[in-house]
Amino acid sequence: MGLPYPTRQRPYLHYFPLWATLLMVCTIIFICIWIHYTQAMIFAINATLDVLGEGTAADNFSVLSQSVIATSILYFIYGSVMYGLCLWWSLLEVEADQIGQVKDKMQLFMMSNLTVRVCWWAIMTWMVVLLAGAAIFGVYTSNLSYMITTVLNNQAMVGGYPDHTGPYPDCPATCLDLWVIDYIDTPMDTSCVCNRSTLMSALTFAQQAKDSIAGALVGVFFMYIIGGYWRSELARHYATCRTMQDVSGRLAKGGLEGGGAAVAAGGRSGPGRGKPPSGRGAGNGDSDAYRPLASGPSPGRGIGRGRGRREAG
């Protein structure tokens, strides 16, 4: 019959998933930060495009705006699922410590844990894509702000701007040529923007979008970092559960199989205490052990004594 699983008494505060609770709070905080700054960036970019002209749009801009809602909901759902797994593990640990039996439900926990971690890898990959997308939009916004600022400086140097422009591509340096910007789609007949007030309004919104990029990047970056901590926390629970299953299986078989059985049955396998082994120092006649010297003084000691007597005489 197998040995019982050892029980132990711990304070209930030990079983509270404190680290998982902290991760859940940080998850909610950084999701809110990312949503706030990303929505502010999207609003500012939309305002910039509307000011520059009717029909002006940015490539793949709708993908970023749609991903905010979908990613936030999915990330929060999976964060809640992982926090639920941590709570489940706490209950299983309490049951194992108090009852002393590892239930079969731990196998179900391990399967759920592994499934969630595999799906979490896909979400983390998508977070990397979002991080790269936000960085690219930041570069585009900074480039647009620089181009508008350059045109305004040219107008200040020249002292004005033309009221009417000729057909494209006759767009002077005192006007913003949207047709040459690859990531902006606009009709060719309205691609040359010269009005100074329009450019200044567009620059204001572009600066607001650029200022929101940092917050959006910080939010999505820390969402990725927290996701790594979630993954390590679930991996730790999985490893502990697997160890408990292994120990329980060994105890169920009796705990004395293998090399430990012979030692437990036969006692100490080495020589008895106080009895020297055979060989050097054993005292056997047939061995090459050291033997005591013959009685009497050694040659060195005898010579020393004789010399001392002659000197005294």
Every domain of the chain and the residues it spans:
20-251
User: Nearest-CA neighbor of 184 among 192, 194, 196, 173?
Assistant: 192
Q: Cα dist. 226→126, 127, 158 in Å?
A: 14, 11, 53
**In terms of DSSP H, where are the helices of 53-158?**
61-99, 105-158
Helix (H) or strand (E) holding 248: helix 196-252
Return the sign of the alpha-carbon dihedral for residues 259, 262, 263, 269: negative
pLDDT at site 284: 46
Residuewise pLDDT in 10s, the chain (313 residues): 444 566 677 777 778 889 999 999 999 999 999 999 988 988 998 888 888 887 787 766 777 777 888 888 999 999 999 999 999 998 888 887 777 666 667 888 889 999 999 998 888 888 898 888 888 888 888 999 999 999 999 888 887 776 656 566 677 888 888 888 888 888 877 788 888 888 999 999 999 999 999 999 999 999 999 999 999 999 999 998 888 877 777 776 765 454 444 434 444 444 444 444 444 444 444 444 444 444 444 444 444 444 444 444 4
Helices 196-252/105-158 angle, 10° precision: 160
